[in-house]
Structure 1
């Protein structure tokens, strides 16, 4: 059925204006004032007093991910439902690979996890843990047939995920030729391993030592090393979950030299700090993820980097584990605490409340950071990430004046705690549409499992045509 959204204020990364939106066959069919004739037989949605944003694009999630002898709590059903309630309509998850196995094996595994479960649209990044001739032969098919145009290289988690510098450099070289974006988890895993073993040998086992053995200098060093290799390869790099000034400085330096280096931060680094890991009764384990939370003064550095454009996106790094039964696996040994937290639902509201409402970023910057820039970088634009005729009708009707308290009692994530427990936020999604269909309507879930579609993405520096074909663009 056709729909028309009336009386709302449309906000994109570049414009803010009042207009009506006509939706037909899952896409935006018209935008204008007084579309009465066009919408004669349409369902009318009154958005008076609300903003209308393009659906959020979360570029960084880990749903149903194996880690540390357990599996992250939210799967593609609960995770995408929570994302929708939070105003996200597209996410990109990570396929983890095993050395020696065909890359398609990992991709098929993630398709099996997500198929018939997701309630919003989704895509995949692919981990590269090794580079050899066999892997290089498989990459064109990964891009052309699967539409996976971003590769993740871990510089940390020694003996688990960590790749060496040769693997990173050869991945950057291949990505340049193939039109892919290389992502890095930038921490010096070798030094972290040494500091971790030292801490344990000295009897330092509490959650705070997770942060103390992963100091910000090691994030800065790895970020700079990755940026240097990117410049040498004349390639493109996206640094995930930037947490500290040291990493921001390296990204800013690389960009000042004209390198194609992009940076993402996460809501947890914008509002939480290292002291949370010191909470008594093992409560600090709730805040163990990597990179770790930093000293509080880093928060304003990150906000300023978002405002100035040195960081461009906000990912959730969603990787939830229950406090009881999962996080507590690390009692007596902080290295056994599963890394990650439930973040996906609160990403958009925290950025609006702490960013827009407190004057740190503009309303248009908010849209760019939470949606548009990720859609452009990861080959989803303009199908996703904007409100324009022909784009998917992924829309968020958002009440900027609603006030609420974030809590595990009211969130829709599967985990038994919320890291932002008790935090007051201003601004809340009221209704969320994915391709013109309600997933959330008046704060009630109305979607269906399986309604989310897998999206094949365009190459880096290209845009996605309406029919899904690839086309050159400078967006």
Structure 2
């Protein structure tokens, strides 16, 4: 691989941004130098002029669902299309949620997910393991997962793969024993079911708006509080994934006051869209059906403040894309609308435009929640998430003076709609490098999947 020299840009990290040059050699960052420092270059070194541009570490999206069988269908983005969409938007590493379905072992679930990537991936990738069938064999195989580089797990408190409280507690205990950390989808399944029954009995099953009205913020907050008290007794750290609301954030704040380590993730959809979208005419609102659902503008404002203040550590996407035709599986019953939407290719520019340029967060904070914190939390801190000598040369060059128009017509994802359709965002991602190779150049993607599976280390405690 040729050497690459990126000069003249502003290097962004979480502590400061500074003018500097980057020399890439053998897939690694060989040197980070001051602009005036003389660097002797070989004749075959490719020089990239990044003057006036921002240089980020490659973004890490630690919450994707590619090729997921759920709700009677399969997500429209598999690993091939999903990771191609990811890298087009500056994400050079994804961590997808593998699932141990009922009757499977954890090792079988892991093998199934590795097989899903056999057709190639465009960015580097890791796998979490979702536990849905807790038994003695699963307990034993938690160690197998760690040995295979799966150091983060997930459990659900809702859906048909939920764990009972005693099972969730045992999982948290066991994962602490092996050095792992648990991420949790927090919603109160019983409350949601009761509300759904009421709405169906009232003849409201065909209304898309019944979705968010039967999954109130209180259902999320109660489940967050419950799992955090279980973690308190287990004396274990924990991750709340896709936080949506102030009520849930307040439960996290209370746990932290008790001395607990709680890591919080939110997603761009919860920072840009409100539940008013569920009231759109006809079936249009189904495009925005996700769980937990979109919330109020006041929640959006609170989440942005929490990111700025360091209360939320990471911003991932929960990319779980279905076409509009797939969404119609629930046209006669809102409970059957597949939940999820695309977002993996727009996250970086959304965070820059809606966060940085609007003064909600600094560019350094953007780097922290998209790059550095995910690297620490998900066991990649030895090679990803930082522009430092010896780290993988995953680089994003962002033009702050450019623009990006969101439209389904040009997106890489196989999804046939874009949640932010027509929105013009500030900034444009010009180049993306994966381990030193230029994969994206002004929206042109090198059509050769070169991503590698990442065996991850245990998480690094911070906060």
The verdict on a shared fold, with TM-score over 0.5 as the criterion, is yes
Displacement after TM superposition at 1:49 (Å): 1.1
- Which of residues 144, 152, 155 is equivalent to 1:153? 155
Tell me the TM-score normalised to structure 1 length: 0.95
- Counterpart-to-counterpart distance in 2, 1:176 and 1:185: 18
Asked if the contact 2:80–2:121 (Cα under 8 Å) also holds between the matched residues in 1, the reply is: yes
Distance apart, 1:36 and its partner CA: 3.2
CA 1:447 to 1:45, structure 2 compared with 1: closer, same or farther past 3 Å?
Answer: farther
Q: Residues of 1 paired with 2:376 and 2:411: CA distance?
A: 29
Alignment of 1:200 onto 2:203 = no
Correspondence list, 1:3-14, <5 A: 3-14=4-15
- Which residue of the partner structure matches residue 90 of structure 2? 87
Asked whether the 8 Å contact 2:100–2:133 carries over to 1, the reply is no
**Equivalent in the alignment of 2:339:** 339
Q: 1:297 to 1:194 in 2, by over 3 A?
A: same
CA distance in 2, matches of 1:319, 1:368: 24
Q: CA deviation at 1:447?
A: 4.3
For 1:312 and 1:428, locate their aligned partners in 2 and report how far apart those are by CA, in whole Å: 24
Following superposition, the deviation at residue 443 of structure 1 comes to 2.3
Counterpart residue number, 2:434: 434
SS in 2 for 1:183: strand
- Distance in 2, matches of 1:285 and 1:442, equals 32
Query: Does the CA-based 8 Å contact 2:107-2:144 persist in structure 1?
Result: no
Partner of 1:214: 215
1:438 Cα offset (Å): 1.2
The residue aligned with 1:466 is none
Give yes or no for contact 1:440–1:447 (8 Å, CA) kept in 2: no
- The equivalent residue for 1:353 is 353
Q: Determine whether 1:454 maps to 2:453.
A: yes
Q: How far is the alpha carbon of 1:442 from its aligned partner?
A: 2.7
2:260 pairs with 1:259: yes
Q: Is the 8 A contact 2:104 2:133 kept in 1?
A: no
Q: In 2, distance between residues paired with 1:64 and 1:132?
A: 26
CA deviations 1:402-431 (Å, max 9, x no partner) are: 123211112111100001112221012100
Report how many residues are paired.
459
Distance 1:442 1:211 in 2: 38
Which residues of structure 1 form unaligned runs of 5+?
Answer: 463-473
Spell out, residue by residue over 1:302-335, the C-alpha distance to the aligned partner (whole angstroms, 9 max, x if none): 10111111111101000000002x0011111101
Structure 1 position 461, deviation (Å)? 2.5
Aligned to 1:75: 78
Cα distance in 1, alignment partners of residues 457 and 447 from structure 2: 27
What corresponds to 1:231 in structure 2?
232
Contiguous gaps of at least 5 residues in structure 2: none
Question: Where does residue 186 of structure 2 map in the other structure?
Answer: 186
When structure 1 is superposed on structure 2, of 338-347 and 126-135 the one drifting more is: 126-135
1:200-243 deviation line (CA, Å, top 9, x unaligned): 12111211111000000010000011111111101111001101
